[in-house]
Amino acid sequence: MKKIQMVDLQGQYAKIKDVVDPSIQEVMDSASFINGPKVHQFQKNLEDYLGVKHVIPCANGTDALQIAMMGLGLEPGDEVITADFTFAATVEVIALLQLTPVLVDVDPVTFNIDVEAVRKAITSKTKAIVPVHLFGLAANMDELLELAKEHNLYVIEDNAQGIGANYTRRNGSKIKTGVIGDVASTSFFPSKNLGCYGDGGAIFTNDDNLAHTIRGIVNHGMYKRYHHDVVGVNSRLDSIQAAVLDAKLPHLDEYNNTRRNAARKYNEAFNGHPQITIPSGRTECDGICSTCDCHVFHQYTLNLRDVDRDALVVHLNENGIPCGVYYPIPLHRQKAYLDERYNEDDFKVTNTLINSVISLPMHTELDDDQINFITQTVLDFINNSK
Ligand SMILES: *Cc1c(COP(=O)(O)O)cnc(C)c1O
């Protein structure tokens, strides 16, 4: 059996080397390293793939989120509601812009932001909601959009983990995550579902004015050369990364299908076990996300009951199986984001998940032998520690 990795980027590269290498070589030969033709080509191709009017490439997913908020003109003191159970980048940029982060609990089934918790957190200062399509599963966008409309709030999707996922609207139509709210951010960090070989990110929007504003912000607030109309940042996707991404984009659906296939095999092994809850979806799909396209499995995460999760982590590692705990500490208890307004009773779900979730190896190169070995090792541990 091949050595099991949490993410196998070497195996993936070996299969696409013959398209990636010439694409990078083109950039080297042209010496157009910043904002070269590759960046524009990738931007155009991603716009077509997503069905969105504007993709604005930038340096990473954290910048993308920050720039989206700057583009919307959010101001110090404005409250921005986001999920307590996510990667810190989401809350970090809110705080960095001197906006007020308001963390709320998540749904115990989807792990995504809880719409009722958002509703309760809305005040006269609330300006935006940031749903994260956590682990690759679309958040409950129809209800969030409705709530946002009612209170005149922006919806900024953090799509760093969800690229390629579909969301099924109430009317049955499908739309890609990242083009549903007012604006969205994504990350091309190497381990993301569409990853480059360094840092990268992008902002998506259908709003022409917002896109114009954001294009200036990413480039030092310049709309005309050496005229700085607003305070901007320097955040660019370099041409070499765009070359990698443009070579990988045609494979994105296939990559996400491969992830779903792996998830299906995991599910078959774990489904029905009294101490294991498999990743499950929202009610409009069949509730098991590996059988529809609402989940792109950035992570495959189990929710355990009456299992010593940390001992399982040690056991898996001892057997050569890497695994992850995303996320071990809720954001509302992180030193940087402590706020006396928070009440532990309002974070019951997150406070449970941090001790009960475990993410198993998930990538495009997992084979059946590896999956069988992983599921068997997990099940043996749980069944033998009763
Ligand atoms: C990865 C990630 C980011 C940040 O992306 P970077 O490219 O690493 O800056 C933001 N939000 C979420 C949910 C992520 O998973």
250-259 pLDDT, tens per residue?
999 999 999 9
**Do residues 200 and 327 share a domain?**
no
Q: Is a pLDDT exceeding 80 seen at residue 187? A: yes
Rounded distance from Cα 86 to ligand 1 centre (Å): 9
Query: Measuring from each residue's beta carbon to the nearest atom of ligand 1, which residues come in under 6 Å?
Result: 60-62, 86-87, 89-90, 132, 158, 160-161, 187, 189, 199, 201
What total number of domains does the chain contain? 2
Predicted confidence at residue 282, as pLDDT, reads: 65
- Per the structure, the complete domain to which residue 287 belongs is given by 252-384
Supply the CATH number for residue 135's domain. 3.40.640.10
**Do residues 227 and 323 share a domain?**
no
Residue 347 lies in a domain: yes
**Do residues 317 and 344 share a domain?**
yes
Q: Is a pLDDT exceeding 80 seen at residue 284? A: no
Supply the CATH number for residue 364's domain. 3.90.1150.10
**Do residues 240 and 268 share a domain?**
no
Q: Is a pLDDT exceeding 90 seen at residue 289? A: no
Predicted confidence at residue 293, as pLDDT, reads: 81
Q: Is a pLDDT exceeding 90 seen at residue 120? A: yes
What number does the ligand 1 atom closest to the CA of 298 have?
15
Predicted confidence at residue 224, as pLDDT, reads: 93
Residue to mutate (ligand 1; options 87, 163, 196; most atoms within 8 A of CB): 87
Residue 39 lies in a domain: yes
363-384 pLDDT, tens per residue?
999 999 999 999 999 999 999 9
Mean pLDDT for all residues in the chain: 96
Predicted confidence at residue 287, as pLDDT, reads: 65
**Do residues 39 and 119 share a domain?**
yes
Residue 260 lies in a domain: yes
Rounded distance from Cα 90 to ligand 1 centre (Å): 8
Q: Is a pLDDT exceeding 80 seen at residue 212? A: yes
Predicted confidence at residue 347, as pLDDT, reads: 98
Q: Which of 250, 274, 291 is the last residue of a domain?
A: 250
**Do residues 314 and 367 share a domain?**
yes
Rounded distance from Cα 29 to ligand 1 centre (Å): 31
Q: Which of 250, 269, 290 is the last residue of a domain?
A: 250
Range name among 169-173, 219-223, 239-243 with the lowest pLDDT average: 169-173
Residue 307 lies in a domain: yes
Q: Which of 203, 228, 250 is the last residue of a domain?
A: 250
353-365 pLDDT, tens per residue?
999 999 999 999 9
Q: Residue 353 and residue 203: Cα distance in Å, rounded?
A: 30
Strands 154-158 and 126-130: parallel
**Do residues 245 and 343 share a domain?**
no
Residue 310 lies in a domain: yes
Residue 370 lies in a domain: yes
Residue to mutate (ligand 1; options 62, 134, 203; most atoms within 8 A of CB): 62
Residue 79 lies in a domain: yes
**Do residues 171 and 71 share a domain?**
yes
Query: Whole-prediction pTM value?
Result: 0.96
Q: Residue 89 and residue 199: Cα distance in Å, rounded?
A: 14
Predicted confidence at residue 290, as pLDDT, reads: 74
**Rounded percentage of the chain residues whose pLDDT exceeds 90:** 94
Residue 235 lies in a domain: yes
Predicted confidence at residue 285, as pLDDT, reads: 65
Average pLDDT over residues 216-238: 95
**Do residues 292 and 370 share a domain?**
yes
**Do residues 269 and 332 share a domain?**
yes
**Do residues 97 and 168 share a domain?**
yes
What number does the ligand 1 atom closest to the CA of 90 have?
11
Average pLDDT over residues 157-177: 94
**Do residues 97 and 235 share a domain?**
yes
298-349 pLDDT, tens per residue?
999 999 999 999 999 999 999 999 999 999 999 999 999 999 999 999 999 9
Average pLDDT over residues 223-227: 93
